Amino acid sequence: MSETVDKATLLEGLNEDLAHEYQAIIMYNTYAAAVSGIHRKELQGFFQEEVADELEHAKFLADKITALGGTPVTRPAEVTYTTDPREMLENVVEAESETVTRYVKRMKQAEAYGDYGLASMLDTMVADETRHKEESEKILRGQWGS
């Protein structure tokens, strides 16, 4: 992204990211409660562990939005509910993939805006979300051969 990005565009994107972090917190928490069957213990623990990372991301984004003079959103993006463990993991993989794509875009916007600290933090968050996605993919392959 060689062009400059204005603050309003960056804030809009960060609020989109925040809504999706709220979605992830709710999704992981709900899936941890709803998962059943032979893989319940493993998946419940996995989902519960992810909540803390997503909450840290949400805290960072809300703080950054206010530091830039914006107002953080208070509503999550839509959460897809299911009780099927395989669908839960597939939903997680999809959500994390979309998050990585959004954060890469936001990182480029932050650089174009000149906020290199934000760009650096988003780079770290890309690594976190990529790890979440890859762990979910490993579980899917191990349990269902996908």
91-124 core/surface letters (b: 16 or more CB in 10 A; e: else) = bbbebbbebbebbeebbebbbbbebeebbebbee
Whole-structure pTM value: 0.93
Domain count, the chain: 1
Domain membership of residue 1 (yes or no) is no
What is the C-alpha to C-alpha distance for residues 74 and 42, in angstroms, rounded to an integer? 31
pLDDT of 142: 81
Half-sphere exposure of 131 (CA within 13 A, CB side): 11
Domain membership of residue 2 (yes or no) is no
Domain that holds residue 25: 7-144
Domain membership of residue 75 (yes or no) is yes
The predicted-structure confidence for 11-59, as pLDDT tens digits, reads as follows 999 999 999 999 999 999 999 999 999 989 999 999 999 999 999 999 9
Given a cut of 50, whether residue 115 has pLDDT beyond it is yes
146 pLDDT band (50/70/90 cuts)? low
Domain membership of residue 56 (yes or no) is yes
Given a cut of 60, whether residue 80 has pLDDT beyond it is yes
Domain membership of residue 127 (yes or no) is yes
Domain membership of residue 99 (yes or no) is yes
Domain membership of residue 61 (yes or no) is yes
Q: Average pLDDT of 94-116?
A: 97
CATH number at residue 100: 1.20.1260.10
Residues 25 and 92 sit within 8 Å (Cβ to Cβ): no
Domain membership of residue 55 (yes or no) is yes
